[in-house]
Structure 1
Amino acid sequence: MFSPTNDFATFVEHWSQLYDFNSNWESNYYKHIKIDKPFTHNDIMELFEWQSQAGLGKIRSAAIKDKIYPHLDYINDMKFEESLDLDVFNEKFKDVAAVSRTFVLHLIKPEVYPLYDQNVHIAYNFIHGIEMDLYDYPTKNETRLKFYFKKLVPFISANKGNIPMKKIDEALNTFGQLIKRNPKLKI
Structure 2
Amino acid sequence: MRNLLILHKTQETDLQRFIDFWSRLYRYPLERLYNNTITKSQFDPDDIQSLFKWKNGMDLSSRKQQSLDTKIKSQLKVINQMKLQAVLDVECFLAEFSGLTAVWKIFLLHIIKPLRYPIYDQHINRAYNFVHDLEYRHISASGMTCRTKEDFYFNTYLPFIRNQGSINLKKLDEAFFALGRFLATSNNALLLEK
User: Shared fold (TM-score greater than 0.5)?
Assistant: yes
Q: Is 1:186–2:174 an aligned residue pair?
A: no
Q: Is the 1:111–1:165 Cα contact (8 Å) retained in structure 2?
A: yes
Q: Is the 2:117–2:158 Cα contact (8 Å) retained in structure 1?
A: yes
My pick for the range that moved more, 148-157 or 132-141, is: 132-141
Higher-helix-fraction structure: 1
- Cα 1:135–1:16 change in 2 (3 A) is closer
Q: Is the 2:126–2:137 Cα contact (8 Å) retained in structure 1?
A: no
In the superposition, the TM-score normalised over structure 1's length comes to 0.90
After superposition, give the CA deviation of every residue in 1:125-163 in whole Å (9 maximum; x if it has no partner).
00110023325665211111011000111111212x332
Higher-strand-fraction structure: 2
- Cα 1:157–1:30 change in 2 (3 A) is same
Q: Is 1:129–2:133 an aligned residue pair?
A: yes
After superposition, give the CA deviation of every residue in 1:29-79 in whole Å (9 maximum; x if it has no partner).
0111124x3101110111001011111111101100011112211111111
Q: List runs of 5+ in structure 2 lacking aligned partners.
A: 1-7
Match of 1:102 among 103, 106, 112: 106
Q: Which has the higher contact order (CA 8 A, sep 6+)?
A: 2
Q: Distance in 2 between matches of 1:6 and 1:135?
A: 24
Match of 2:168 in 1: 164
SS at match of 1:186: strand
Match of 2:156 in 1: 151
Match of 1:53 in 2: 57
Q: List runs of 5+ in structure 1 lacking aligned partners.
A: none
- In the TM superposition, what is the alpha-carbon distance from 1:5 to its structure 2 partner? 4.7
**Which is greater in Rg?**
2
Aligned length: 183
Identity of aligned residues (%): 34
Amino acid at match of 1:6: T
SS at match of 2:36: helix
